[in-house]
Structures are given as structure tokens and as C-alpha cells.
Structure 1
Amino acid sequence: MGKLGKHNFMKKYNRINTVLPDTRAATKANLVSMINKYDSLYLKPNVGTGGFGIYKIIKKNNSFILKSGTRSTEYKSFQALYGSIQRVVSKKKYVVQKGIDLLKHEGRPFDIRVMVQKNRNRQLETTGIIGRLAKRNKIVTNYHNGGTPMKIDSLLKSHLRGSQRASVIKKIESLGREASVVLGKSLRGNKAFGVDIAIDSKMKPWVLEVNTRPDMSIFNTLKDKTMYRKILKYSKF
């Protein structure tokens, strides 16, 4: 099941649909409609991991900026922009997603990966949470694309006080589990989910994507191995 299939399945559930950013097939009509509605968009391969093949479109006055990797190109019209991405989006199935204005740490955007796994009683449980800080000037936070894994507490320090921080982290952990429970209704045999969550500048969390074969190695980068050991233990259930 690709990003669009997961999104369409999850948005049927009221308990989760308010935190799912608008995501559609990347047709020309959808791109036009969404660029008129939002300040920025992300183009992502419908199937694929690691943050590769992702583009960001930013609306700036009467022009459009297309970012990919660390490159940035400005187009004077939507038609010119579409001309440059048409080959990519038509060759491979892409989705277009509303851009979320991510919180930043030292000028670099970050998001959060929440690990959710089935415990010995076959119930889903949050087993890990980690922040992913984008490489300078990059649009993606993925570890395998130059992102830096960090403790979530460190990333939120400059935005929230201690007790607020603890409460937001708890909320994110529970949202990760909630998203996994919902998607798990469609994928009953799946034992682990990696939920990518963004926090916007108004402190609202958004579920960007739910990965059904999450990479556990990112948790091994933390100095404290408690979380990683728990994840490994649960992977055997």
C-alpha cells in the first residue's frame, strides 16, 4: 500500500483525519488546486523510503521555487514549473502533500519518528521516539539522506518549557500509536509501524506518513541504548 492508499484509508477515521495533511495524486489539476490553496507543497514518490526523489514547491509572490536536495530553482509561472516536473511525476507515481511549516532547531527543520510495535499480547505500544534534524539547506530529515537523529527533548527545548515539553512528547507518542492502530485495521498482520510526525509553528502535530517496514537502526544512534534494546526485544514478539 502506497502513501496515497494509506492516507485515503486513514482519513475515513474521525479520530485521526484532522491531523492528516491534504494528500492527493500528483495530477496537474491537483497541483493547480493545491498551489492555489497552500503556500508550499511536497511532491513525494507514492512508494519509496529514505527521503529520496522528494521535491518542495514554495509559492513566492508571483513565482514558484522548486527545491530538491540542496538545489533551488525559481520559475516565473506555474506552467514553467510544471514543465520541469512533468516528466518526473508522469514517469513514476507521485503524491502531492500540503507543506507543513516545520519547527526548527538552530535554523534547521526537524520532524519526529515514533516507533510503534505489537507487544507480547499482540497490542500496539509506542516503543520509541526520536527527532530527525534536516541537514543544512536540505528539505528532508531522513537519517539515510543526511539527517541527524537527536533526542526529541533536546529539539523541543528552545520551543517549550519542561512540563509543556513532557506533555507534548506524550501527545506525540499517543498520536503515533493512534495512527498505527487505525492503519493496522487495514494491515492486520503488520507488527511494527514507524510514524513520521511534524510539529508546525503553532505547535500542532501532523501525521506525515506511516511506514509499515520501519528502519530500527536510527534508534541505535542514540547514546542511551534503552529505547533501541526495547525495540529489538519487541521485534521478536
Structure 2
Amino acid sequence: MQPEYVGILLNDSTHRGIPSGKTGTESISNYEEAAAMVGLTPCYFRIRDISLDTLTTTAYLCSPSGYVQKTIPLPKVIHNRAIHSDPYARRLIEQFISSGIFIFNAHTRYGKDIVHHMLTDDPMLRSSLPQTVRAKPGLIRHMLREHGDVILKPCRGSVGLGIMRLRRTLLHDQFTYSRSTPSASGWRSLRIPKGHLPLLLRRRIRYLPFLVQERIPLAEYEGSPFDLRITVQRGGSGNWELTGMFARTTPKGTFVSNIAQGGIPIPVLEPFRHGIPGIHPEMMIQKTAEFGIQIAQSLSCRLPYAADYGIDAGVTADGRLFFIECNGRDQRYGFREAGMPDIWKESYQKPMAFARYLLDHGQWPPL
């Protein structure tokens, strides 16, 4: 009998590493285990491996001798883990969806400005959004006067690349930036006259669209500010469910918490206990879970075929939650780094359970 396949759509670099087991942060063994739990066989391919003429794909399949490539019918359900920037690939995905193939997380990268505007339209979430505008010189100066501390970040991008900070002090402004690929040791800060915008900043916002956003005064744990990563996914019920959350503390000398730049992921219980003393940690966990699900439900009304969000949230010392940004391709490995291996595995199990839901029901879940 033909196996029931679930497709895993990958970028070239991850796909290339499958035979040698070098797939970066993506765990192929987790996919195998999670798919087997719901009676599915995962197959791994790229968009260019698909034949439009025959509706087949050349895919990697697990065999006793390792991973082998085989031509199989294009799976009816595909979990997209690739980032496709070229219009042709995006059109191809839309074409497959129109023909009745379920591709969830069809688009994994959304502009930060687009997502922010979508959430602004939701009256239930509006108060949880930091003031955010397009980064233009006059607006940057206005935001700095109003808030005293602002973050500038590219509308598109990940792991904190290109992010900058302007902070007003009594006598001057302070500009913090990284010239090259950021790391915990690659950041520089310099004093500048009040209202002056450095040449590096002006060049960056001239060539790429940036946002300027008020910086949220984050709660602290052991002397370091921390923010939150909330993973919300569709699972076997078809509904949005919390998979898990962890806190990320910022390394000394930086203002970013991305793990790729030295941010330290840790379970939320102790940061909540010590950083937000006025609210019981379990209540704070519940509040954060509801916040993440509310964001996912709101976005899913505007972003069809989404099933997986990694939501970055700021939290203040009095327990107020703020939406920072949303990732349509959650890296997941933060749970492993935080010492939460069961949640790490669950972040693979939920998409496979959702694939089973789509196969069994033959339709996208109601909003």
C-alpha cells in the first residue's frame, strides 16, 4: 500500500545537508518521529524538485541505508519550511493551493510593517502595540523626543540583522549599532549631539525600508532585560494552540536578545517570578499564552494558510505584554537551548498532527 506522505518543503541549504545529517537548526529526526505518531511518512524536497507536468516530486525518503531520493506523487499536504523571495516560487505555491493541495505556512516571511498594521486594525490588541512608524529622519527625531529610547529595524530581516538603537540622555544622544554580522561582541555605542542622526543610520534607512519603534522598558532577570518567544501552532484539532514559551535575556553590551547574537534562552518561570513580582508566575504564563493565541487568531484572518508563529513579545515589570514582531518560520531550537527538549519535540509534533487533520478533513479549519 502506498504510504501517506506529508511533504516538508525546504530551502537548498537544509535540503543539501539531509544525506550527511547536517541540516542546521532543522531536526529531520524530529520530523520522522512526529510524522510516525500520526501515521504519515515525511518526504523532503525543494520547490524546484516539483514537476508541473506530472505533479510529482523528487524527494528524500528515509530508508534502512539512509536517505535516498525517489520520485513520488506530490503530497496532498505540504508543510513549508522554506523562505521563497522570488515571485515565481510564490506564484507556484499559490497555483498548487488553487489546485487543491494544502500548503500550510505557504508564506513564511512577512514585512514587520505589514504585520504591525494588521494588528493595529484589531481593537483588542491595539494597546499592546508599541508606537511604530516608518523610519524617516523627521519621524525618528520626533519619536526620540517623545519616547527617549527607540529601536530602528529593517522591515524585512531576521536574527536582529541591521537593528539599531537611539537613546536620549540628559546631555546627548547615544547610538548603538553593529557594522557587520552581529554577535554579542560586535556592537558599538557612541555619543552624538541631540537630534543628530549618524551617517550610518541615514545610509541604512535610505537604501532599505526601516521601522522606528518605541523601546519597551523590559522586565529584568538577574540584572539583564528579557523578552519572550511564544510559539503558537495549529495542531491535531485544527485550532491555534500554545506549544510553549521561553524567556531570552540580552547579553551585556547589547540590546538584542536573539539567540544567534548571544541571547540566552531560559524557561519563563524564574524570570516571571523575579522580574514580575506582583503577578504569580503561573498566572503570568496563562496570560502570555492567551496573548499569543489572540495574536495568531487575529493574524490568521488576514494571512491565509498560516499554521505556525514564533511571536516575540516584550513584558514590563508590572506584567504588561507588548507585541514586538512575528516570525512565520519559527526556528524552534530555542526550546532545546533552553533545556526544554519535550517542548522542542512538540514544536515538530503539532505541524505533523495538523497535516493529519488536513488529510482527514479535506478542508482548512474555520477561522
Q: TM-score, normalised by structure 2?
A: 0.62
CA distance in 1, matches of 2:234, 2:202: 41
- Judge conservation of contact 1:172–1:205 (CA < 8 Å) in 2: yes
Q: 1:218 aligns with which of 325, 331, 334?
A: 334
How does 1:1-237 map onto structure 2 within 5 Å? 1-69=110-178, 70-79=187-196, 81-160=197-276, 164-236=280-352, 237=354
Residue correspondences, number:
236
Which amino acid is the alignment partner of residue 9 of structure 1?
M
CA distance in 1, matches of 2:215, 2:279: 29
- Secondary structure at 1:71's aligned position in 2? strand
CA deviation after TM superposition for structure 1 residue 58, in Å:
0.4
The 1:168/1:137 distance shift into structure 2, 3 A limit, reads: same
Which range is displaced more, 56-65 or 38-47? Answer: 56-65
Which amino acid is the alignment partner of residue 50 of structure 1?
V
- Secondary structure at 2:349's aligned position in 1? helix
Which range is displaced more, 8-17 or 152-161? Answer: 152-161
CA distance in 2, matches of 1:162, 1:78: 37
Question: Highest CA radius of gyration, 1 or 2?
Answer: 2
- CA offset digits 1:158-212 (Å, max 9, x no partner): 2345971110111011101111111111112011001111112332111111111
The 1:160/1:204 distance shift into structure 2, 3 A limit, reads: closer
Which amino acid is the alignment partner of residue 131 of structure 1?
A
- Judge conservation of contact 2:278–2:318 (CA < 8 Å) in 1: no
CA distance in 2, matches of 1:176, 1:120: 18
CA deviation after TM superposition for structure 1 residue 121, in Å:
2.6
CA distance in 1, matches of 2:211, 2:278: 37
Which range is displaced more, 178-187 or 63-72? Answer: 63-72
- CA offset digits 1:88-147 (Å, max 9, x no partner): 111111111111111111221110000000112321111110111111111100011111
CA distance in 2, matches of 1:51, 1:226: 27
Q: Which runs of 5+ in 2 are unaligned?
A: 1-109, 179-186, 355-367
RMSD: 1.6
- CA offset digits 1:191-236 (Å, max 9, x no partner): 1001111112332111111111111111122334221121110121
- Secondary structure at 2:280's aligned position in 1? helix
CA distance in 2, matches of 1:104, 1:162: 14
CA deviation after TM superposition for structure 1 residue 83, in Å:
3.6
CA distance in 1, matches of 2:166, 2:319: 23
Percent sequence identity over aligned pairs: 22
The 1:202/1:184 distance shift into structure 2, 3 A limit, reads: same
